[in-house]
């Protein structure tokens, strides 16, 4: 059975503020826990008015504090933005507060633009040190040695599970070499998914954390009672990606009746390619298309994001997916 989890980009919708987005996420994680989703991740983005999870560890603490069983984590922390010791301390603190429920996904990209990267006081070449930084974070989670001069407190000995995130072959190779689970960002960068999964599985070296490869692709799912309603709701997602193409990111816009009037043919082609793994439709449509995806990828778990403008419709989309999960080989956790 394939586990199902949630990726929440903590979208700030048009007409609301970041505080509203954070409260919506607390409501959504409680709903996801009731529905039996395995884990709930938020991601680090900076200087984006439409995403409210910049202080990722703080958001994770609020989400974990609002729930009791679901795993909560980062999908991910952009490690080049931080000193490994600081991340080990932050996630060690989370693990100390919520033992057995914290995940730490690590990414190599800065998660922002170059000007914001400078505002973060980070070296633009820091991503070149990503493999070494991952090993350093991992080492801080090991029990401290008797003569160890620098320790993560909390953190030492807690062995928070690490994941490698990626959207290219680099992350697949690193996750395989280190023997770590691998999450692929196919919800916005689908091109290398199949090749990356193949490389990851072929080159995987067992480790203390993982005896065998474990792959989790990210996908978009917009489910509703009918295909027509789902396609309407999905125009918010499509507008967001058009904004990325136009270099005009902003808050999540309400759905529109005719997306064809919104984008140009070139934008439509580009966005449709980026959203190749967006599953939009009624329960029957989602079952058919998602079953084919699972068969093609042999995923161990799927991480689902649903950028839907209306909070009730977003909750309903996750509810529909949970309801049809057993019919397509998806495993729900005990509520």
Q: Domain map of the chain by residue range?
A: 1-160, 214-328
Provide the phi-psi class of 133: left if phi over 0, else alpha when psi is between -120 and 50, else beta: alpha
Contacts of 226 (CB under 8 A, 6+ apart): 282
Give which of 167, 307, 152, 299 is closest to 230, Cα–Cα: 307
- 89 vs 52, 85, 143, CA distance in Å? 22, 6, 14
Inter-residue long-range contacts of 197-200, CB under 8 Å, 24+ positions, other chains counted: 197/172, 197/297, 197/298, 199/169, 199/172, 199/173, 200/172, 200/173, 200/175, 200/176
Q: What is the pLDDT of residue 303?
A: 98
42 has which bridge partners? 8, 74
Separation of alpha carbons 301 and 330, rounded Å: 8
The phi and psi torsions of 221 (rounded to 5 degrees) equal -130, 125
Strands 2-8 and 301-305: parallel
Q: What is the pTM of this model?
A: 0.95
Helix (H) or strand (E) holding 91: helix 84-97
How many CB atoms are closer than 10 A to CB 177? 15
- Spatial distance between the Cα atoms of 316 and 168, rounded to a whole number of angstroms: 32
Nearest to 87 by CA among 154, 171, 1: 154
Q: Does domain 1-160 have CATH number 3.40.50.150?
A: no
* Tens of pLDDT, residue by residue, the chain (335 residues): 899 999 999 999 999 999 999 999 999 999 999 999 999 999 999 888 999 999 999 999 999 999 999 999 999 999 998 999 999 999 999 999 999 999 999 999 765 667 776 777 666 666 789 999 999 999 999 999 888 999 999 999 999 999 999 999 999 999 999 999 999 999 999 999 999 999 999 999 999 999 999 999 999 999 999 999 999 999 999 999 999 999 888 999 999 999 999 999 999 999 999 999 999 999 999 999 999 999 999 999 999 999 999 999 999 999 999 999 999 888 877 54
DSSP class of residue 218? E
């Amino acid at each position: 059975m394939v586990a199902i989890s949630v990726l929440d980009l903590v979208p700030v919708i048009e007409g609301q503020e970041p505080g509203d987005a954070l409260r919506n996420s607390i409501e959504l994680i409680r709903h996801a826990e009731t529905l039996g989703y395995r884990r709930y991740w938020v991601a680090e983005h900076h200087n984006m008015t439409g995403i409210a999870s910049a202080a990722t560890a703080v958001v994770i603490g609020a989400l974990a504090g609002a729930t009791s069983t679901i795993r909560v984590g980062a999908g991910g922390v952009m490690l080049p933005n931080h000193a490994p010791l600081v991340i080990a301390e932050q996630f060690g603190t989370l693990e100390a507060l919520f033992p057995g429920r914290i995940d730490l996904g690590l990414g190599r990209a800065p998660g922002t633009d170059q000007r914001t990267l400078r505002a973060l006081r980070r070296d633009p070449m820091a991503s070149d040190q990503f493999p070494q930084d991952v090993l350093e974070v991992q080492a801080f989670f090991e029990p401290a040695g008797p003569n160890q001069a620098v320790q993560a407190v909390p953190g030492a000995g807690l062995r928070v599970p690490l994941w490698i995130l990626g959207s290219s072959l680099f992350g697949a190779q690193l996750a395989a070499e280190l023997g770590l689970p691998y999450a692929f960002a196919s919800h916005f960068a689908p091109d290398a998914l199949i090749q990356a999964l193949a490389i990851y599985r072929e080159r995987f070296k067992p480790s203390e954390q993982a005896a065998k490869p474990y792959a989790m692709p990210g996908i978009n799912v917009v489910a509703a009672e009918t295909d027509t309603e789902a396609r309407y709701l999905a125009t918010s997602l499509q507008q967001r990606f058009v904004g990325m193409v136009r270099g005009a990111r902003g808050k999540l816009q309400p759905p529109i009746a005719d997306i064809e009037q919104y984008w140009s043919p070139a934008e439509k082609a580009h966005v449709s390619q980026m959203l190749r793994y967006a599953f939009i439709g009624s329960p029957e449509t989602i079952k058919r298309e998602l079953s084919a995806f699972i068969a093609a990828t042999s995923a161990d778990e799927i991480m689902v994001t649903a950028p839907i403008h209306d909070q009730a419709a977003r909750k309903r989309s996750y509810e529909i997916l949970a309801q049809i999960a057993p019919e397509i080989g998806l495993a729900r956790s005990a509520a």
